[in-house]
Amino acid sequence: MLNILVCGIGGKMGGNIVDLLKDDKDAQVVCGVDIHAPEGCKVPVYSSFEGVKEKIDAIIDFSSPAVLDGELEYAIKNRVPVVLATTGYTPDQLEKIKAASQKTAVFKTANFSLGVNLLVGLVKKAAKVLGEDFDIEIIERHHNQKVDAPSGTALMLAEAANDVLTEKRQYVEGRSGIVGKRGNEIGIHAVRGGTIVGEHEVMFAGEDEIVSLSHSARSKRVFAAGAIKAAKWIAGKTQGMYDMNDVLGAIL
């Protein structure tokens, strides 16, 4: 049985992980880290990683970039693999995560759904075929509680397209004012409202035709299930940086 620590256990995603692991045969939640302990939680919840006493096989983190330093310190010191689902890391933090992956195993993706990871593959394919002649715009929609914009997934999709283009494009977020004609860019637009779980559309707009690829998440459970799959996969690994392609194999 794998022992899982859930960082952000008091949040919406943390709650989904706890729910899904209740009946799991291979993994169980043994404790959590959160600045707000959830009511009625059946496992110990610590306000920081310093307090953790349990033996942990993998960390699943759906919390905030603010917890990163203490978390990586703990993971490296105790050689615990960590699944980072949190989004909104700064470029400095992304460097720290990369450096940490030489000392402990790190699994990081902005989106744990199978469908979005398929979308990434489809976007690469479309960008290869259409990219040089078509304008690329990404529109993402999320609930009104989301704190970062654009979404980590929108940036992941932009990177997927840019990766295969010969001439790399700049990202332009949410145009406003007299911005002039469109340049060599990928436009990224964030819509926020209500309880939208997460929607992403990548539009390739050419002369007289448009190709749109999109994904819509209908519940947060898809992300929780993906993160649990990743935790089971990474448990026991001692170092390296991994993402969903390592779990799913090359999709396209």
Ligand X SMILES: NC(=O)c1ccc[n+]([C@@H]2O[C@H](COP(=O)([O-])OP(=O)(O)OC[C@H]3O[C@@H](n4cnc5c(N)ncnc54)[C@H](O)[C@@H]3O)[C@@H](O)[C@H]2O)c1
Note whether 104 binds ligand X by CB under 6 A. Answer: no
Catalytic residue numbers read: 142, 146
Pairwise CA distance, residues 21 & 16, whole Å: 9
- Binding to ligand X (CB under 6 A) within 8-37 occurs at 8, 10-14, 33-36
The CB-of-27 to ligand X minimum distance in angstroms stands at 18
Q: Which of 88, 115, 121, 240 binds ligand X (CB under 6 A)?
A: 88
- Binding to ligand X (CB under 6 A) within 35-64 occurs at 35-36, 62-64
Q: Are 172 and 186 in contact (CB under 8 A)?
A: yes
Q: Cβ contacts of residue 21 below 8 Å, gap of 6+? A: 4, 27, 28, 29, 228
Q: Which of 89, 223, 233, 242 binds ligand X (CB under 6 A)?
A: 223
Contact letters for ligand X, residues 62-81 (x by CB under 6 A): xxx-xx--------------
Note whether 233 binds ligand X by CB under 6 A. Answer: no
Pairwise CA distance, residues 8 & 37, whole Å: 9
DSSP string, 190-201: EEE-TT--EEEE
Tokens of 43: 């496992």
DSSP H/E element including 205: strand 198-205
**Residues in the site for ligand X, rule: CB under 6 A?**
8, 10-14, 33-36, 62-64, 66-67, 85-88, 109-112, 223
